[in-house]
């Protein structure tokens, strides 16, 4: 009898891409993918450890699975991903329902771990690797418009607050040939957009080729393919990379470039390796070279020792940059990191209030930026149905903004030109002005 496996994924896009790799490995070994938890012989969670609340969510979900296991004692439960790597054997020791713990560089061992678990043996694999990139594994994806393609793994930056260097290990890159081959196949299957992924995607280096070369090679595959990438670190935003984005119409004019804090003192304590002035100078160069570029960022509120002045520096940097979007977080202390030893001295209510101010400011700026687009024309790629209505599509602009339009006989995967008629802080609404176009930009 073929056993069936169900995987739930949490955390960043790298984890979603990893789940496709795991599915590829399991599929190859003859496992079936279960449609839902109730019919699965084994349930896995691919986990995130970035902040405490991410982990608490996993424990909550685990207790649901424990109930299932009471009804079906043969059910196998496994933890994959960053929590597996961070907590290792303590996950087995403290959660009797867990049978398998497998870190992000050990997924080739999963079939063996699963076989043992079905025979009643618990197992754990959490070795990190300096070379594993799963370059040869074909990720199992369902057909669609957009695909995630992981191009490098790990992080060597060691920002003092961050657990990723401990959960994902050292940086390593796939080969350019491997990535280009995979994207060619995706294009053949009808995908219209790829997002190249890495914790520091722009520090990609396969020995010969850097990220600018990789982006150009991927963009050259097909002018109808949109190419996106995330996440970039300011330190690796080379002039050649900026030129590559400017020079190829189908490399999207959208850069997610986390600054984390607007205070030089905090940036130094975070080990971000740039100052506010460096960051502003870099953004100035990017905007001058790539007209119409859209940018977004990550921000942390309440890093150890952060004062009201530091917080105001963050708000003023946001005002100055006027980005289109931001992911905004309360600082969460993580064991093993340098910042852990700095204490967690900003009280939770102060962190919460600062975060609220940051969110409110960003909402206002996003709304103003979106409102300024009303009346203009945008080319969008139709990606799927709108959440609100069966009669509408959701598409995205080259600058990564969601646009809702009437279906009007068009299909998913087509590029169409729309006039923007209204806007909220998160969404644009458009009307169709032109026939289908065959070009990404």
Query: Any alpha helices (H) in 203-273, and if so which ranges?
Result: 211-219, 239-247, 264-269
Q: Count CA atoms closer than 13 A to 324's CA, side-chain side.
A: 23
**Structure tokens that stand for 352 in this block:** 């919460």
Using the rule CB under 6 A, give the single segment among 57-65, 174-182, 331-339, 372-380 that binds ligand SAH.
Answer: 331-339
Report CA 324 to chain centroid distance, whole Å. 17
- 434 near 417, Cβ under 8 Å? yes
Using the rule CB under 6 A, give the single segment among 161-169, 212-220, 235-243, 368-376 that binds ligand SAH.
Answer: 161-169
Query: Does 332 engage in binding with ligand SAH (CB under 6 A)?
Result: yes
Binding-site size, ligand SF4 (CB under 6 A): 10
Query: Does 162 engage in binding with ligand SAH (CB under 6 A)?
Result: yes
Kindly list the distances between the CA atom of residue 313 and the CA atoms of 46, 214, 317, in Å, as whole numbers in the listed order: 36, 36, 6
CB-CB neighbours of 348 under 10 Å = 10
Query: Does 49 engage in binding with ligand F3S (CB under 6 A)?
Result: yes
CB 331, min distance to ligand SAH, A: 5
Using the rule CB under 6 A, give the single segment among 67-75, 140-148, 160-168, 217-225 that binds ligand SF4.
Answer: 160-168
CB 157, min distance to ligand SAH, A: 7
Binding-site size, ligand SAH (CB under 6 A): 17
By C-beta, is 148 or 161 nearer to ligand SAH? 161
CA triplet 80, 81, 87: central angle to 5 degrees? 85
Binding mask 231-250 for ligand SAH (x = CB under 6 A): x-x-----------------
Query: Does 248 engage in binding with ligand F3S (CB under 6 A)?
Result: no
Q: How much of the chain is helix, strand and coil, in % rounded to 5?
A: 40, 25, 40
CB 334, min distance to ligand SAH, A: 5
Query: Does 48 engage in binding with ligand F3S (CB under 6 A)?
Result: yes
CB 209, min distance to ligand F3S, A: 24
CA triplet 112, 117, 122: central angle to 5 degrees? 105
Bridging pattern class, strands 152-153 and 146-150: unpaired
**Structure tokens that stand for 328 in this block:** 């905004």
Residues 33-72 that bind ligand SAH (CB under 6 A): 50-51
CB 261, min distance to ligand SF4, A: 12
**Structure tokens that stand for 291 in this block:** 């007209």
Residues 210-249 that bind ligand SF4 (CB under 6 A): 233
In angstroms, the CA 274 to CA 187 distance is: 38
CB 249, min distance to ligand SF4, A: 29
Query: Does 22 engage in binding with ligand F3S (CB under 6 A)?
Result: no
Query: Does 258 engage in binding with ligand SAH (CB under 6 A)?
Result: yes
Tell me the backbone φ, ψ of residue 256, rounded to 5 degrees: -90, 115
Query: Any alpha helices (H) in 29-118, and if so which ranges?
Result: 52-71, 82-87, 89-94, 110-118
In angstroms, the CA 7 to CA 19 distance is: 7
Query: Does 168 engage in binding with ligand F3S (CB under 6 A)?
Result: yes
In angstroms, the CA 19 to CA 150 distance is: 11
- 31 DSSP assignment: P
Binding mask 412-431 for ligand SF4 (x = CB under 6 A): --------------------
Query: How is the beta sheet containing 226-230 ordered, strand by strand?
Result: 146-150, 193-197, 226-230
Query: Does 298 engage in binding with ligand SAH (CB under 6 A)?
Result: yes
Using the rule CB under 6 A, give the single segment among 48-56, 57-65, 245-253, 392-400 that binds ligand F3S.
Answer: 48-56
Among 5, 45, 50, 299, binds ligand F3S (CB under 6 A): 50
Using the rule CB under 6 A, give the single segment among 61-69, 101-109, 150-158, 289-297 that binds ligand SF4.
Answer: 150-158
CB 433, min distance to ligand F3S, A: 39
DSSP string, 315-357: HHHHHHH--SEEEEEE----TTSTGGGG---S-HHHHHHHHHH
In angstroms, the CA 134 to CA 22 distance is: 10
Of these partners, ligand SAH, ligand F3S, ligand SF4, none, which one is at the site of residue 158 (CB under 5 to 8 Å by kind)? ligand SF4
* Contact set with ligand F3S (CB under 6 A): 11-12, 14-15, 48-50, 81-82, 163-164, 167-168
* Contact set with ligand SF4 (CB under 6 A): 155, 157-159, 162, 164-165, 199-200, 233
């Amino acid at each position: 009898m073929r056993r069936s496996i169900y995987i739930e994924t949490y955390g960043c896009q790298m984890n979603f891409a990893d789940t496709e790799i795991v599915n590829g490995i399991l599929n190859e070994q003859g496992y079936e993918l279960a449609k839902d938890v109730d019919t699965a012989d084994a349930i896995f969670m691919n986990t995130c450890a970035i902040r405490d609340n991410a982990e608490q969510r996993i424990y909550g979900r685990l207790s649901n699975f424990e109930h299932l296991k009471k009804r079906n004692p043969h059910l196998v439960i496994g933890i994959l991903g960053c929590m597996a790597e961070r907590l290792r054997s303590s996950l087995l020791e403290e959660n009797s329902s867990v049978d398998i713990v497998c870190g992000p560089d050990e997924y080739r061992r999963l079939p063996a771990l699963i076989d043992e678990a079905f025979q009643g043996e618990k197992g754990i694999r959490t070795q990190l690797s300096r070379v594993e990139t799963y370059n040869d594994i074909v990720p199992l994806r369902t057909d669609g418009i957009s695909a995630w393609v992981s191009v490098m793994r790990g992080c060597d930056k060691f920002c003092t607050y961050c657990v990723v260097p401990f959960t994902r290990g050292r940086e390593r890159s796939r080969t350019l040939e491997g990535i280009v081959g995979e994207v060619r196949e995706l294009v053949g299957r009808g995908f219209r957009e790829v997002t190249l992924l890495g914790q520091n995607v722009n520090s990609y280096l396969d020995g010969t080729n850097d990220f600018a070369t990789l982006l150009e090679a991927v963009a050259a595959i097909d002018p109808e393919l949109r190419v996106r990438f995330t996440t970039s670190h300011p330190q690796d935003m080379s002039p050649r990379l900026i030129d590559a984005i400017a020079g190829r119409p189908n490399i999207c004019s959208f850069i997610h470039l986390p600054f984390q804090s607007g205070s030089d003192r905090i940036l130094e304590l975070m080990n971000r390796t740039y100052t506010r002035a460096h960051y502003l100078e870099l953004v100035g160069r990017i905007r001058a070279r790539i007209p119409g570029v859209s940018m977004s960022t990550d921000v942390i509120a309440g890093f150890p020792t952060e004062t009201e002045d530091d917080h105001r520096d963050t708000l003023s940097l946001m005002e100055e940059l006027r980005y289109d979007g931001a992911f905004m977080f309360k600082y969460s202390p993580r064991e093993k990191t340098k910042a852990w030893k700095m204490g967690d001295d900003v009280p939770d209510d102060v962190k919460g209030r600062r975060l609220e101010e940051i969110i409110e400011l960003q909402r206002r700026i996003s709304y103003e930026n979106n409102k300024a687009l009303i009346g203009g024309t945008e080319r969008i790629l139709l990606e799927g149905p709108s959440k609100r209505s069966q009669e509408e599509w959701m598409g995205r602009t080259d600058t990564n903004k969601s646009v809702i339009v009437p279906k009007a006989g068009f299909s998913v995967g087509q590029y169409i030109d729309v006039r923007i008629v209204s806007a909220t802080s998160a969404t644009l609404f458009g009307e169709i002005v032109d026939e289908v176009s065959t070009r990404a930009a």
